[in-house]
Every structure is written in structure tokens, then in C-alpha cells.
Amino acid sequence: MTSKERVRRTFAHEIPDRVPIDYLANPGIDGRLKKHYGLRAEDDEGLRRVLGVDFLEIIPEYIGPPLHPPLPDRKIDIWGIRTRWVEHDTGGYWDYCDFPLKDADREAVARWPMPSPDDFDYAGALERCERMRDYCLIIGNPGAGDMINTAGMVRTMEQTLLDLMTDDPAALLFMDRKNDVQLRVYGRMLELAKGKLDLMWLGEDLGTQRGPMVSLPLFRRHIRPRHQKFVDLAKSFGIPVMIHSCGSSSWAFDDFIEMGISAVDTLQPEAKDMSPAYLKTRYGARLAFHGCISTAGTVVTGGVTDVVKDVRSTLDVMMPGGGYAFSPTHMLQDNSPVENVVAMYDAVHEYGRYA
């Protein structure tokens, strides 16, 4: 099967030739994997093929004018989110900082620069669709349509949670302005692609390790109706929706199903009510799953034998009846030993076949 066929069959709860495979990684482990396989540092496509990856994001790149003035030692994205480089023992990462809209009122948010949907490279994205047409092509990513995370990156997480509880007009305006841009970009891309895109990926982190991040009534008041716009857009073009959520989030899965969402991503097995057995038993007939291989588990803390055992046990639970795509729960971190990551992908190719 092509990757496109494999994923479509899996998300329809039909049996493919093998489970679909995805790959997410930080630059440190990504570079070491490429070196292990004898690939050039920029050869993303070569690594995807070595690992057997079936998914590929297609996001039009922003090519418009700069929206925010540069600052020393900072990266600033199109939403005005600022990050700074933080070193750690095994590498480093760009961490959120400054929070420029923390104390902003509604008028300040209304003046905050936002990208125009006209300033994205649709032609380049369409060319990539054609060139990579055998993959399962995704519009969106784990940050598409999210409210808590993106607002938290410019207002702080604490302030954003307070904003949702108090219906703060400034925070809600920022969320709506950002989501409106993404909806218009994705709608235009779907229309131009003429059936070449296979899946929409949304995101919102709804759980801690122990329980919900927000209450169900709060989710239904602020998050569900805003996500519904993305789901309705995807459905109007006949493609399924997968939603990303970290932590203990199965409490929202019945709402996801009512909304028309087809698959859930991340599935941290160590979080409350997120074990593969629990999810497969309770939701396996109604949702497809993407994830389950913990980036905080044996791939970091164990050896090769532990990793293979974890992969096999996850596949034993998730594979029956279809509906499962193999993926790390988050980006593989810099502290992941290369031999463990190699073993992880070797194991899914060995044990993830249906015939």
C-alpha cells in the first residue's frame, strides 16, 4: 500500500498491510539519527523513508513582511510568540519568554499584528502536495486551532487559564484572531489542493498527568465551539480530523466523537485514564489513535530490550481491528539514545504487520 492508502484504511477502522508510522523529533536526536543512517543533516526525506514514515504535514509557509521587530537573543514567530535558547545536559531548546500580551487589554490585542491569509506560499505547498502525493498529507499540526497553548505563549499559562474562567475579552479576541487566520489559510489550501490533502490535524492540551486541565463545562463554553469550525471545514472537504491533546484527556473523547473528530493524537500512556487498554476498550470502535509510545518512557529510561517490549505490548493492544497509527507521544527528546530510537522503529516494522 501507499502511505495514503494505509492511513485512510486505518482511520476507517479497516485492516491495512501494517500500522501507519509517524515521526516527531527534536533537532538533537534528529541529527544523530541521520548520522547513524549515513544521511545528510538536511535529508529529512531520506530519514522518513528509512523509518517508514507515512505522514507529512503540508503547511503553506508565511512569506509576507515581518510582523514584529527583531530582538536580541530571541526568536519571534508570526503570532508574536517569543522564545529564548536554553541549554541542558543533552542539548537545548527554545523556551517561551517575555509574554508580550500578558497585561494587554482588548484594544491592545486588536492592534496586535497578525498575518494576512494572502501572505502564504500556496504555490509552494501545492508543489509539495504533488511531489509527495503518496504520503498521507496533513493540513494543520498539533498547534492548529489551539487556544490555551498559543494564548499561554503570549499571556502566560496562568493568565490564560484565568482568562478562560473569567471570559476575558482580550484573551478571547487573541484566540479568535489567530484561529481566523488559520481557518482562512487552511480553507484556501484545501480548495486549491482539490482532494490531495487527506487529514486535518488540530491541537489543544486539555490534561495534566493526573486529570483535566479545564472543566468539561469550560471546555464546552470556549474550546469546543472554536474547534468545531475547523472540524466543519475539514468535513466540507470530505477529510477526517485528528486532534492532539497532552495529558489526561480521555474525559473529552465523547465530545470529540460528537463533534465529528475521527482520531486522537498523543495518548500519553502514563497519564490518568490514558493506557492503551483503557482507550482501546472504551473508544476503539469510535475513534482511531495516533501515538502511545511515550517519549518519557523506555525510549529514554530503558535499554533496547525494554523499548522492543514496550512497542510489542502497545501493538498487541492497539492493532486488533485496525484504527491505530504508531507514533511517539511528543517529539523525541535529545536525551533519547539513538539505539533506542532505532530499536523502536525496527520493532514496529517487525511486529506491526497484519499479514
The pLDDT of 169-177, averaged and rounded, is 98
Share of the chain above pLDDT 90, in %: 98
- Could you tell me the pLDDT band of residue 91, with boundaries at 50, 70 and 90? confident
What ranges make up the beta strands (E) of the chain?
55-57, 75-76, 82-88, 91-97, 136-140, 199-203, 241-245, 263-266, 288-293, 324-328
Pick the CATH number of 3-64+114-351 from 3.20.20.210, 3.90.550.10, 3.90.1150.10, 3.90.1300.10: 3.20.20.210
Residue 99: the pLDDT is: 98
Would you state the cell numbers that stand for residue 309, as one nine-digit string?
Answer: 517490549
The DSSP letter of residue 286 is: T
Would you state the cell numbers that stand for residue 234, as one nine-digit string?
Answer: 475539514
Q: How many residues does the chain have?
A: 355
The string of pLDDT tens digits covering residues 100-114 is 999 999 999 999 999
pTM of the full predicted structure?
Answer: 0.97
Whether 2 and 134 have beta carbons less than 8 Å apart is answered as yes
The string of pLDDT tens digits covering residues 325-340 is 999 999 999 999 999 9
The string of pLDDT tens digits covering residues 157-170 is 999 999 999 999 99
- Could you tell me the pLDDT band of residue 90, with boundaries at 50, 70 and 90? confident
The string of pLDDT tens digits covering residues 27-71 is 999 999 999 999 999 999 999 999 999 999 999 999 999 999 999
Does pLDDT of 249 surpass 90?
A: yes
Map residue 278 onto helix, strand or coil: helix
Task: Give me the chain's average pLDDT, please.
Answer: 97
